[in-house]
Amino acid sequence: MDIPQGLHDHITTKLILINELSAINQEKLLESAVIETYESGSYIFEQGEEDNYVYYLLVGKLNMMAMEETTFVIDADSSQSCYPLSQMQPRQYSAHVIHVAQVLKVSKSLLESLLVSEKKGQSSQPDEIESDDDMVYGYDWMTHLLESKIFSNIPPQNIQKIFALFQEVAVSKDDVIIKQGASGDYFYIIKDGEFEVTRNLEKQDKTFKLATLHDGDGFGEEALLGDVPRNASVIAMTDGTLMRITKQAFLSLIRDPAINTVNYEKALQMINDGATWIDVRFPDEHKRSALTGSLNFPLDMIRVQMKKLNPESNYVVYCDNGTRSAIAAYLLMNNGYTVSYLQDGVNDHLEQPIIESKINEQKPSEKGTQISKQDEQELQVNKVVTESESSVSADTEALVQAILSQQSDMEELSKALSTVLENVFKSLEQALKEKAEAEIARNIIEQKLKIFQKQKK
């Protein structure tokens, strides 16, 4: 096909996917491509159709319609026109022409084949390459993202906006993409390259490798979802390319429409209709106060424990203030589970726990309650240690069971193990501190008791 030089340059440098091909493969693709003109009021394709074409808007303006209603508009002068129209098939919406439009129409199977050959570093002729639709877009970061479970809950009008807002960033080997402890600013998708995820345990001055990430993998969402500091570092192991989207765009275009947020009244209604509570707080928090019938899957273990859940059931996730449950809901939904999370957490809806002690069980002695106060201090010491041991034991037991079952991905187990170890050290450190403070208080009481007894004599 003969294409004017100016338009040829636009197609080969600006249109996403085509601009990833070598000059030779671009020419192979354009040999069979056509530019078609559509009159105002006509349709380029309609919702629900399946075909073997990829369309790009070159001139004009389109209404993108779902269920016969306009969801958003694409103008040829906007950055959105650089992306394929309605890439998912069956088509998620109809392309209705507002003004006379010209579109580039290329073979989907040929484009996919050429992308595969580029990925493999081959220069094969198109007829020497497999053109199975299933093998291709797995190599393309956009399709990898579209095929994620979380994207099935995002309305069509958001998808084109999301792709238009992604920024491409070139990185070099050893670049620190995310630093543990920093605030979250972007969500990333790997276009190409290899990246390592690590977590540092500051008190022990040790760094653990959690995972290795490759083309199509995403990272950085947890800090954005929970509005918390980064819990790990990500370092480039090779030169590569990342696609990133800002925190604000991620939250408004991906999180908000994808994750179902419910208030307490709505959650209770869902539970009455057969849904199940999931408490993602630590085991000691769950033990002290929990909603009736709730499962306890701590956030740091949920990647391992989620395999115990029934994909056919509905779940409502909660924590104390909504931060951890927002992250857990995203992780569960991205693995195919039907989940809502409790807005603002559960703190206002839990009864305060009653802490029993020997003081309540003792009958007052004639000489006063000094001994009872000493007993109270001893009970507090034992309580601190017992609660810490309970939390550590519950997490460790779940981890061991997952390893023995051999049903969990080893990289996920590595992440969970690192988090458990970190919590072990934190729990023990806090327990020792509180134990020391309790022992100091007990010594003071004992000294005062001795002085009191001398004065009595």
Class of domain 259-349: alpha beta
CA distances from 147 to 82, 134, 190, 330 (A): 20, 12, 15, 15
- The top-scoring range by mean pLDDT among 24-33, 144-153, 214-223, 414-423 is 24-33
Which pLDDT does position 49 carry in this prediction? Answer: 87
Indicate the pairing of strand 167-171 with strand 240-246: antiparallel
Which pLDDT does position 24 carry in this prediction? Answer: 93
Mean pLDDT of 203-223: 84
Tell me the pLDDT band of 33, cut-offs 50, 70 and 90.
Answer: very high
Q: How far apart are CA 442 and CA 455, in angstroms?
A: 20
**Residue that wins the pLDDT comparison between 426 and 275:** 275
* Model pTM score: 0.55
CA dihedral 246, 248, 252, 256 (to 10 degrees): 100
The identity of residue 55, as a single letter, is Y
pLDDT at 230 over 70: yes
CA distances from 256 to 52, 220, 264 (A): 33, 17, 18
Taking residue 75's Cβ as centre, other Cβ atoms within 10 Å add up to 14
- The top-scoring range by mean pLDDT among 88-92, 243-247, 387-391 is 243-247
Could you tell me the residue ranges of all domains in the chain? 5-134, 161-254, 259-349, 370-456
Backbone angles phi, psi at 108, to 5 degrees: -65, -45
Q: How far apart are CA 395 and CA 387, in angstroms?
A: 13
CA count, 13 A, side-chain hemisphere, 406? 0
Q: How far apart are CA 431 and CA 2, in angstroms?
A: 76
Which pLDDT does position 314 carry in this prediction? Answer: 94
pLDDT tens digit sequence for 397-423:
555 555 544 444 555 556 666 666 666
* CA terminus-to-terminus distance, the chain: 112
pLDDT at 148 over 90: no
pLDDT at 393 over 70: no
**Residue that wins the pLDDT comparison between 317 and 353:** 317
CA nearest to 144, candidates 92, 83, 214, 94: 214
Taking residue 165's Cβ as centre, other Cβ atoms within 10 Å add up to 16
pLDDT tens digit sequence for 60-93:
999 888 777 777 788 888 877 888 887 777 787 7
What's the whole-number average pLDDT of the chain?
78
Tell me the pLDDT band of 36, cut-offs 50, 70 and 90.
Answer: very high
Tell me the pLDDT band of 123, cut-offs 50, 70 and 90.
Answer: very low
Which pLDDT does position 141 carry in this prediction? Answer: 75
Q: Where are the alpha helices (DSSP H) in 182-240?
A: 221-226
Tell me the pLDDT band of 457, cut-offs 50, 70 and 90.
Answer: low
Which pLDDT does position 155 carry in this prediction? Answer: 74
pLDDT-wise least confident of 103-112, 327-336, 381-390: 381-390
pLDDT-wise least confident of 40-49, 137-146, 192-201, 312-321: 137-146
Which pLDDT does position 1 carry in this prediction? Answer: 65
Q: How far apart are CA 120 and CA 133, in angstroms?
A: 17
CA nearest to 282, candidates 370, 389, 155: 389
pLDDT tens digit sequence for 154-201:
776 677 778 778 888 999 999 999 999 999 999 999 988 999 999 888
Q: How far apart are CA 377 and CA 373, in angstroms?
A: 6
Q: How far apart are CA 451 and CA 455, in angstroms?
A: 6
Q: How far apart are CA 171 and CA 184, in angstroms?
A: 18
Ramachandran region of residue 131, left (φ > 0), alpha (ψ -120 to 50) or beta? alpha
CA distances from 160 to 71, 129, 164 (A): 11, 30, 6
Q: How far apart are CA 154 and CA 191, in angstroms?
A: 21
Walk across the sheet containing 195-201 and list its strands: 176-178, 233-236, 195-201, 206-213
Which pLDDT does position 432 carry in this prediction? Answer: 63
Walk across the sheet containing 276-279 and list its strands: 260-262, 338-342, 314-318, 276-279, 295-296
pLDDT at 359 over 70: no
Q: How far apart are CA 252 and CA 294, in angstroms?
A: 30
Class of domain 161-254: mainly beta
Mean pLDDT of 95-118: 89
The CATH architecture of the domain made up of 5-134 is Sandwich (2.60)
Mean pLDDT of 216-227: 88
**Residue that wins the pLDDT comparison between 230 and 355:** 230
**Contact, 299 vs 280, CB < 8 A?**
yes
pLDDT at 443 over 60: yes
pLDDT-wise least confident of 290-299, 411-420, 432-441: 411-420
Backbone angles phi, psi at 204, to 5 degrees: -100, -5
Which pLDDT does position 371 carry in this prediction? Answer: 44
- Reduce the DSSP state of residue 26 to 3 states and report it: helix
Which pLDDT does position 354 carry in this prediction? Answer: 37
Tell me the pLDDT band of 132, cut-offs 50, 70 and 90.
Answer: very low
Which pLDDT does position 35 carry in this prediction? Answer: 93
pLDDT at 126 over 80: no
Taking residue 99's Cβ as centre, other Cβ atoms within 10 Å add up to 14
Beta bridge partners of 56: 104
Which pLDDT does position 44 carry in this prediction? Answer: 94
